[in-house]
Structure 1
């Protein structure tokens, strides 16, 4: 799928329609795909390509830059190239092909920060990039992101059969969708995975499990994998909203779950005012919050919880509890608040205080008469324990069906059996 998108963009269109940035998790084959595609363009379509690769993760002690200059089927290689040499060679190569529309500048393995200033800033005009780091597009950027998904278990399994690899389940439990990790020596793979898990703190474990931008900007996420929701549709590869980041290694998941603590949900707190209508939905509030947070997270990754204490009063902004929260300190009051269910995106803001009448949370309500009445007609429990979630659903139902004829919505109650 990715190869097809690249071919449609770079073949038969000079200059290409888009300048793509291949993004994805480490070890899923982005670099191999990029180099192979450059060779294909040069040998079969007579392209002239300036390909620079950063091999800092390959155990090199010399300069991490490798330069390959394709002039059709002829290739000139510079295995140990310093940044100032790269800039000079690029200027020469560009002059050679200034009138050639089949000319590409390609970078592999660099971070976006490498191009912001200094001797590699000429990469800002590149035609094709590949990186495992986060890449943020600016409003005036001429680049487009192209996701290269991690390997599914089925793909890993098919590859393992082709190469005669045994113990697929055990190895995949450590490697997840990284084919580079999967093909390592088993002992090396297991040691690397454990060391990576040991480097995670309680706070970062929550970020890894729940936030798309859990790491520092332009960081490389070695724990989670990028997957694509529908691998058979081209538009899913170029639309980040259809990408999914998740920890797919069961070993890593167990380690992260063990490290995560309640206090790690509270860190670097800050407050800001947001104007929202009473009839708006919680999802709208999430989107406004994301704007205030400069789009460092996705709205669906936010967990919003009503800041009410046990006596149903709101936490006050100038209280000691809230001031401690801003400093990252979770008091017992905050811990109790965080233990409550999060607000659902489809809730209306005005509905968050209901129900106000009827049973209170924690009470046991006798339903003996109703139980006896319905004994032969599907049955009913003789008593009910009132929990917060039921109160919320009850309030939503009351708002919809009481005082509105016909009701505003026709609801379908869904959930697990026996709840």
Structure 2
């Protein structure tokens, strides 16, 4: 192994200080430079409450790693590898212990990196203030036999062994004893703990929206790195919140994905979803299963816990939630003709964990509710409009639903042949401005006589939207080419999931023009009582 000398500020890896720094960013120039050829480490990290709580849990588990190893579970890109690096330096410098870190590399021409810190024999010492001089031994591309030899060497014997990125199957298949026994294993894949397995499992949760917003506010270079702005300065917090919310639809709770450009992220998600079979996609989205040792499917999952403030929840299996978290990935994976209660269940789950796909889950629920209402006059989908609308309610009463369009041009072609009995919604996730176009019945206040109108429907869970009148005009231009006998009156309807959201909703038109907009609410709760009766009567 090659020996290198490193001088580094201990504030970069002082895990005991995390509790005091929640919400702030810690610069890590020393670790960033050292790990540039070893699988990377960021130039800084944002401390969220989850990291501080997670460390308090792991610190207690470290006391018994000799008898009970620790398995760190968590979604790809949430910070498990970074945590192991911090832990390695913390233990070597502050606790004067030998540490051996074996990291699997999945990019470039190197398959692994091995780093040994000899804290026990005085090869790490404080030089001045918070600065430490650390002697490090490193190696790359080691075979399992070579890794075994490193572990057996006198120099490394007795080390705290940290294994990063390998799966449980990798460890089991290791006949050379290169990866086992370990003290701590960090993996994104499922870990099947048997009754005789002494390992303690602990979850590092995925990033929630507010965490990611805090990350950006403390590191505005993100605006430039993701291509959303040319400079990190001059963007208001309100606009940053909107940009983060939009990007979160694609990344979900993976910080690594969140730091990619939208184009690169879309390409990655599409390529990943295309490698999955229809059965795998179904299991991922609606059964929340299938995430065993298959990296392709595990990338779509995000791991959450019920209460990030409760230390017990990090180690208690029944307090963990696993689900597809990227709204865009959910749309790619979830194209299945499922019963309405499945969509409702997924929507409620998204509400519970505060997931990034809540908006997409609500949109899918609305589309499915319209589909199941066909031929059932008693249960048509009804949108209750805000009091400032010219109508009191609209009813989506159609004879069929149609989801189509691989791209924007395909969607436009579909709209030119849309008939008055069809509810159309785009299959193309990036179709602008609207989420559905349909004929519907509009009822004026106090009237039971409907007026048949054509509705441009936008679905949202948020209390504000921004667009230009050019968006509206472009859709009008396409509809002018329609050859079917559609109602001549067209309305723009924003549909929300809560009455409070409907009543506070604000539409901003960027070019300053006015746009007549009606805001309504379709409450998923209206489905539950009715659904319970239907599903019980069906015996399912």
Listed as ranges, the matches of 1:380-419 within 5 Å are: 389-390=532-533
Structure 2 residue matching 1:210: 3-state secondary structure: helix
Q: Mean alpha-carbon deviation: is it higher for 215-224 or for 150-159? A: 215-224
Matched positions, count: 262
Give the structure 1 partner of residue 312 of structure 2.
235
Q: 1:206 aligns with which of 282, 294, 307?
A: 282
Distance 1:7 1:388 in 2: 47
Deviations along 1:270-328, whole A, 9 cap, x unmatched?
A: xxxxxxxxxxxxxxxxxxxxxxxxxxxxxxxxxxxxxxxxxxxxxxxxxxxxxxxxxxx
Asked if 1:48 corresponds to 2:98, the answer is yes
Give the structure 1 partner of residue 109 of structure 2.
61
Residues 1:67 and 1:391: Cα distance change in structure 2 (over 3 Å): closer
CA drift at 1:122:
4.7
Asked if 1:111 corresponds to 2:170, the answer is no
Distance 2:157 2:163 in 1: 18
Distance 1:15 1:249 in 2: 35
CA drift at 1:120:
4.6
Tell me, which stretches of 5 or more residues in structure 2 are unaligned? 1-52, 125-134, 224-239, 340-529
CA drift at 1:213:
3.0
Listed as ranges, the matches of 1:8-87 within 5 Å are: 8-10=60-62, 13=63, 18-55=68-105, 57=106, 59-62=107-110, 64-72=111-119, 73=124, 74-87=135-148
Q: What is the TM-score with the length of structure 1 in the denominator?
A: 0.57
Distance 1:394 1:205 in 2: 29
Listed as ranges, the matches of 1:4-403 within 5 Å are: 4-10=56-62, 13=63, 18-55=68-105, 57=106, 59-62=107-110, 64-72=111-119, 73=124, 74-93=135-154, 97-98=157-158, 103-164=159-220, 165=223, 166=240, 167-217=243-293, 219=295, 221-258=298-335, 260-261=336-337, 389-390=532-533
Distance 1:168 1:262 in 2: 31
CA drift at 1:252:
1.6
Residues 1:105 and 1:191: Cα distance change in structure 2 (over 3 Å): same
Distance 2:324 2:535 in 1: 31
Give the structure 1 partner of residue 474 of structure 2.
none
CA RMSD of aligned residues (A): 2.7
Distance 2:538 2:294 in 1: 44
Runs of 4+ that moved beyond 6 A: 391-396
Higher RCO (CA-CA < 8 Å; seq separation 6+): 1
Is the CA contact (8 Å cut-off) linking 2:148 and 2:177 kept in structure 1? no
Report the structure, 1 or 2, having the larger strand content. 2
Distance 1:142 1:192 in 2: 37
Structure 1 residue matching 2:189: 3-state secondary structure: coil
Structure 2 residue matching 1:230: 3-state secondary structure: coil
Structure 2 residue matching 1:154: 3-state secondary structure: helix
Is the CA contact (8 Å cut-off) linking 1:112 and 1:218 kept in structure 2? no
